[in-house]
Amino acid sequence: MAYSEKVIEHYENPRNVGSMPKDDPNVGTGIVGAPACGDVMKLQLKISDDGIIQDAKFKTFGCGSAIASSSLVTEWVKGMTVDQALTVKNTQIVEELNLPPVKIHCSVLAEDAVKAAIADYKKKRASKES
Amino acid sequence: MKLPIYMDNNATTALDPRVLEAMMPYLTDKYGNAASRSHAFGWEAEAAVDRARDQIASLIGGSGKEIVFTSGATESINLALKGAASFYHERGRHLITLQTEHKATLDTMKRLERDGCRVTYLPVDKEGLVTPEQVAAAIEPDTILVSIMLANNEVGVVEPIAEIAAAVKAKKKDVLIHCDAVQGVGKIPFNVETSRVDLASLSAHKMYGPKGVGALWVRRKPRVRIDPIIDGGGHERGMRSGTLNVPGIVGFGAAAALCQAEMADEAVRLRALRDRLNEGIMSRLTDVYVNGSMEHRLPGNLNISFAFVEGEGLMMAIKDVAVSSGSACTSASLEPSYVLRALGVGEELAHTSIRFGLGRFNTAEEVDYVVKLVVDKVNRLRDLSPLWEMHQEGVDLKSVSWVAH
């Protein structure tokens, strides 16, 4: 299968690769996918107390499209509010990267990773407040 | 050294220039129909086809009169299985094969099941091997045919075909043995007489011949009968109608003759290259696993799982090297390789597998380049892999409850 230029560009120069401390109360961690399915994304968001995403990091086990989708989404959500980040749709990723139908699940995974990271962050906040 | 490097010789092989040279006259001046009996153009074509029959039969220890030309091995396998099931349907309706066979066999068996046959799909051990006892034990009173591959296309594992055939015939003499010999013929010794097979499927393009031509070897003594699956002018003794692909057949014959002449030396050379590739990778990376038996294996095949690095992602990183992967992402089904599953390789490792297929035109320089590239890229992708990170932290990945999607 031929990859789009944008996928190749993100794959070869992935943005925001790395990890942040999981125990940091301002860091939300989302891990989605499964090794048996061939892709796992770990996405971490550092969120300020007023709900702005200050930093995003990812690590992905998967094909080129999965790596490119996670790289792209970390770029997008940086600077967004939590509520804005929750509106990021997989279809936007599909469009931006020209993903073929067989790779749509990669974009779904990236969307889910953002949601999972935010849910983790909110859970941490709730338990801190209670 | 030229890029890209072709290391996918289990998928197809390059046409050997010497084969092309043999074919050229039949693509230009010598265009006769081998079935034309009334003029020199036909006679010339027929003589060339018969020479090719002998060259191919000689490679497998058979007679040229036993060769039926087809469009390729998929057709040969279809003809062998459907043709025998149809002709011998009064003798029985049960067939036996392996779970690791090529789709050409498995999907033909599925078709036969829909048409009223029963099929036993035998498991293999973690090396990819089936035992003769296992096959013999699966024989039922109405078993008509056993189909076993000589060598597997994904993991290169070589099945003990002669021992299997002997065990089967000892248990029930009239059971036919079909061998999908596509991957093995021309690479390792295979003899239809000492192996006691009744039908053997062959392909030209896996042995440096052209695409679009294959053969089914059909035993004459004692005579094995099959019904045709293509009807028409009654070519190939009624077993396969259709005008013969004369240039393709000439190329197939030339390719077979080259394999026969060079196989012994070439196998030694390829095995050394394969071992150099394997040792180069194994000595520089941890958590890498060879899939399938190293002892019973085609000389040029290496199938490795690079744990924590997804196969398609790795192929993209080594895009100047043509290989293939058992990862789901390379198939339309999103299921990882059923062959690796049959060997008991977990899905998470099946997704990380790469098949290297070395061939006649690969060099030691290329192998060294590939070792270095693969090691660099696996390390890069592991730095990017959350699974590698967890593994380094001592997390047992099997204990994690993953959110499958």
Burial of B73 from C-beta contacts in 10 A (0-12 / 13-18 / 19+): buried
Do B351 and A59 count as a contact with CB atoms less than 8 A apart? no
Q: Read off the pLDDT of residues B118-157 as tens digits, 9 standing for 90 and up.
A: 999 999 999 999 999 999 999 999 999 999 999 999 999 9
Q: Which of B312, B389, B405 sits opposite A63 (nearest CB)?
A: B312
Q: Which of A14, A31, A105 sits opposite B384 (nearest CB)?
A: A14
Going across the sheet that includes B199-203, the strands are B67-70, B214-218, B199-203, B176-180, B143-149, B94-98, B118-122
Share of chain B above pLDDT 70, in %: 98
pLDDT value, residue A130: 64
* Mean pLDDT on B75-82: 98
Nearest to B180 by CA among B265, B164, B137, B167: B164
Q: What is the CA radius of gyration of chain A?
A: 14
Q: Residue B248 is encoded by which pair of tokens?
A: 């393709």
pTM metric for this prediction: 0.94
The length of chain A is: 130
Residues of chain A found within 8 Å of residue B322, distances taken between Cβ atoms: none
Residue pair B329/A58 in contact (Cβ under 8 Å)? The answer is no
Place B43 in a pLDDT band, splitting at 50, 70 and 90: very high
The answer to whether A102 touches B333, Cβ cutoff 8 Å, is no
Q: Is B367 helix (H, G, I), strand (E, B) or coil?
A: helix
Of residues A12, A18, A37, A122, which has the active-site annotation?
A37
The H-or-E segment that residue B94 falls in is strand B94-98
For B332, the closest of A102, A108, A109 (CB atoms) is A102
Q: What is the mean pLDDT of residues B244-255?
A: 98
Domains in chain B (CATH in brackets) are: 5-10+264-389 (3.90.1150.10), 17-259 (3.40.640.10)
Backbone angles phi, psi at B41, to 5 degrees: -60, -45
Residues in chain A within 8 Å Cβ distance of B383: 17
| Contact state of A63 with B334 under an 8 Å Cβ cutoff | no
Q: What is the pLDDT of residue B405?
A: 59
pLDDT at B300: 97
Q: What is the ipTM of this complex?
A: 0.94
Would you write out chain A's pLDDT as a tens digit for each of its 130 residues? 678 999 999 999 999 999 999 999 999 999 999 999 899 999 999 999 999 999 999 999 999 999 999 999 999 999 999 999 999 999 999 999 999 998 999 999 999 999 999 999 999 998 877 6
pLDDT at position B326 over 90: no
Residue in chain A nearest B402 by alpha carbon: A34
Q: What is the pLDDT of residue B368?
A: 98
Spell out which chain B residues touch chain A, with contact meaning CB-CB distance below 8 angstroms. Answer: 308-310, 312-313, 316, 327-329, 332, 334, 336, 346-348, 351, 383-389, 397, 402-405
Q: Give which of B358, B356, B349, B371 is closest to B305, Cα–Cα.
A: B349
Flag whether pLDDT at B82 surpasses 70: yes
Q: Is B117 marked active-site?
A: no
pLDDT given at position B40:
97
3-state DSSP assignment of residue B322: strand
Option in B308, B328, B397 nearest A38 (CB): B328
The structure tokens listed for A22 are: 């999981």
Give the minimum alpha-carbon distance from B377 to chain A in angstroms, rounded to a whole number: 11
DSSP class per residue in B278-290: HHHHHTT-SSEEE
User: Does domain A5-124 match CATH 3.90.1010.10?
Assistant: yes
- How high does pLDDT run on average in chain B? 96
Residues in chain A with CB shorter than 8 Å from the CB of B332 are 102
